[in-house]
Amino acid sequence: MIEEISIENVGVIASARLELGPGFTVITGETGAGKTMVLTGLDLLLGGRGDPAVVRTGTDRAVVEGTFVVDEDVARRVEESGGTLDDDALILARTLPAQGRSRSFAGGRSVPQAFLAELAADLVTVHGQSDQLRLRAPARQRALLDSFARTGALLTDYRGTWQRLTDARTRLEEWQARSDERAGEAARLRAGLELLEALDPQPGEDDELRAEAEKLGNVEELREAAGRAHAALSGAGEGAELDATVLVDEARRSLEVSDPELSALAARLAEVAYLLADIGTDVGAFLASLEADPTRLQTVHERRAALKDAALRLGVEGPDALTEWSAAAAARLAEIDGPQDGGAALREELASLTARLEALAAELTAARTEAAARLSAAVDAELAGLAMPGAHLDVALTPLPEPGPWGAESVALLLQPRPDARPRPLGDGASGGELSRVMLALEVAVAAPDTAPAVRPTFVFDEVDAGVGGKAAIEVGRRLAGLARVAQVVVVTHLPQVAAFADTHLVVTKSTGEATVTDVRRVTGAEREQELARMLSGQEDSDVARRHAAELLDRAVMAP
């Protein structure tokens, strides 16, 4: 709900402050006085496009500020953006320079213009010529029907289920798209495992084969080296002198004297003699084992080549990684071929969500069908009193091929302006004034005192009275006053019959001197009668017009 709006340097308005009451507020004034600039200022405040041309001539910027009573959801969004409320009231502001970019503020914090527009959707509903285009949109028409049917909780449940179903379908499609990939992977794993099963690689086998190949390939060189060492240790071979073991043993015996230190050295030489004897035996055994075996060498080379080829084919780093690959491949193949079928689980989830969505869609369709008949009857009754006798609003529900994000049917509002005319979509053949009255009839029908929110919604009507007069104008005012019982209603009007029903009457006046200046002031009592008289006859001082104005005010009192 809007508490007040301050406007500076917008068009002909140098400075104006509008205090809006919680009920029905009308804004009146002479043609050209600047009523449009009031709505322009409000549009700026609600995130509308800022045209520097609206900045008052001779000033550097236009400024609009408004104070709003908001609900908890709007307050939370403002606080999340860094703003704060002032005594539970939200202050919005917009500055529009004559040159440069505009700036927007919410709760004292600079915010993007788009943020003001987002908040505006929850703060004010503006019904004007531009909003008539919105009324033609299927989404807006469906939202009106759902609001009338009070399907909020049901629709939330339906949309959540539809989103989960959509996500499940996407996951199943992705799973199915990967099925060929998984089949190919399984085939590659099986081929690799079959290769390794035939090859049977062993951990560390390649290192052992490498050592054996080096030994078999260097038999003569190894035999010569081992032979020399064996001869030196044992004295074997032609021309060999005393062997090392004999010399060490001789030295040991030489040190076996009574001196403790030499005796200790003799003991150590005894250990050396034993060690030399062992080494000599091992070298002799090595010599005995050396035998040229070209066949075995060929076998070793072929085995190593087979292991390397397998490693290359499987893309692992060397033969030593083959056993590790085999274990990992077996585990992955078991996962792919295992009993846990992800596709089956997804299909089961999909079936469950589909059944749930169909049940919710049927419930939503039933609620909309019942509400469509009631809404049509309620709007027809309102239109009859708004100078559109015989007009009929048809709320058409057309089944969709499959449930969509907003239900199983599309919603269309069709207007039949006369009994002999065929129903046509809103906007086709209807005048702007007729559309304004249809919007008013819809809002009145949808509004319900028993479901009014804690914070009153705000409706702004521009040209809702276009093309009407006389008794029909009185009925327009009566319905606006009725709507104001559950909402804040702000109307720009030229009709005194409408203005007479207002709780708050604001008059826009223009004075011409060195510069044209527009002022906005609240009128009551005699001043209000005078304004209504001006609207009736153009002569605010006419006694007849004043009496007529007083009569309008008396008759405009709404029954409690």
Residue 375 vs residues 148, 153, 443: alpha-carbon distances, Å: 7, 20, 11
Residue 483 and residue 540 share a domain: no
Residue 99 and residue 204 share a domain: no
Q: Is 271 left (phi over 0), alpha (psi -120 to 50) or beta?
A: alpha
State the pLDDT at residue 133.
57
Residue 406 located in a structural domain:
no
Q: What is the pLDDT of residues 231-288, one digit of tens each?
A: 777 665 554 556 777 777 778 777 777 778 887 888 888 888 888 878 878 777 776 6
State the pLDDT at residue 239.
46
Q: Is 36 left (phi over 0), alpha (psi -120 to 50) or beta?
A: alpha
Residue 320 and residue 188 share a domain: yes
Cα distance between the two ends of the chain: 22
Gap between the Cα atoms of 430 and 418, Å rounded = 11
User: Which residues in the chain come in under a pLDDT of 70?
Assistant: 33, 128-134, 212, 215-220, 222-224, 226-227, 230, 234-242, 287-293, 338-342, 427, 429-433, 448-455, 463, 466-467, 512-517, 558-560
State the pLDDT at residue 241.
59
Residue 405 located in a structural domain:
no
Q: What is the pLDDT of residues 23-52, one digit of tens each?
A: 999 998 887 767 778 888 888 888 888 888
CATH of the domain at 507: 3.40.50.300
Residue 90 located in a structural domain:
yes
Gap between the Cα atoms of 223 and 275, Å rounded = 22
Residue 541 and residue 483 share a domain: no
* Domain end residue (candidates: 302, 337, 372): 337
Pairing of strands 109-111, 124-127: unpaired
Q: What is the pLDDT of residues 146-189, one digit of tens each?
A: 989 999 999 999 999 999 999 999 988 887 777 777 778 888 88
Structural domains of the chain, count: 3
Residue 201 and residue 97 share a domain: no
Residue 121 located in a structural domain:
yes
Find out whether 105 and 93 touch, Cβ atoms under 8 Å: yes
Largest Cα–Cα distance of the chain, in whole Å? Answer: 158
Task: Give the strand order in the sheet containing 103-106.
Answer: 109-111, 103-106, 89-97, 61-69, 2-10, 13-19, 516-522, 504-512, 24-29, 488-492, 458-462, 124-127
| DSSP string computed for 153-206 | HHHHHHHHHHHHHHHHHHHHHHHHHTHHHHHHHHHHHHHHHHHHHHH---TTHH
Closest CA to 172 of 354, 304, 308, 12: 354
Residue 151 located in a structural domain:
no
Residue 132 and residue 4 share a domain: yes
For residue 320, the cross-strand partners are: none
Residue 185 and residue 241 share a domain: yes
User: 3-state DSSP call for residue 516?
Assistant: strand
Residue 95 and residue 5 share a domain: yes
Amino acid of residue 226: A
Gap between the Cα atoms of 441 and 415, Å rounded = 12
Backbone angles phi, psi at 501, to 5 degrees: -85, -5
Residue 412 located in a structural domain:
no
Number of H helices and E strands in the chain, helices first, is 19, 15
Residue 242 located in a structural domain:
yes
Burial 298-317 (b: 16+ CB within 10 A, else e): eebeebbeebeebbeebebe
Residue 131 and residue 2 share a domain: yes
State the pLDDT at residue 408.
95
* Domain end residue (candidates: 309, 337, 365): 337
Residue 317 and residue 216 share a domain: yes
Residue 446 and residue 303 share a domain: no
Gap between the Cα atoms of 398 and 380, Å rounded = 21
Q: What is the pLDDT of residues 359-371, one digit of tens each?
A: 999 999 999 999 9
Closest CA to 115 of 128, 101, 105, 125: 105
| The two three-digit tokens of residue 549, written as one number | 């104005």
Closest CA to 446 of 154, 157, 135, 156: 135
Handedness of CA 365, 366, 367, 373 (dihedral sign): positive
Burial 187-225 (b: 16+ CB within 10 A, else e): eebeebbebbeebebeeebbeebeebbebbeeeeebeee
* Domain end residue (candidates: 311, 337, 363): 337
DSSP assigned state of 463: S
For residue 319, give its domain range: 181-337
Residue 72 located in a structural domain:
yes
Q: Report CA 484 to chain centroid distance, whole Å.
A: 36
Residue 192 and residue 127 share a domain: no
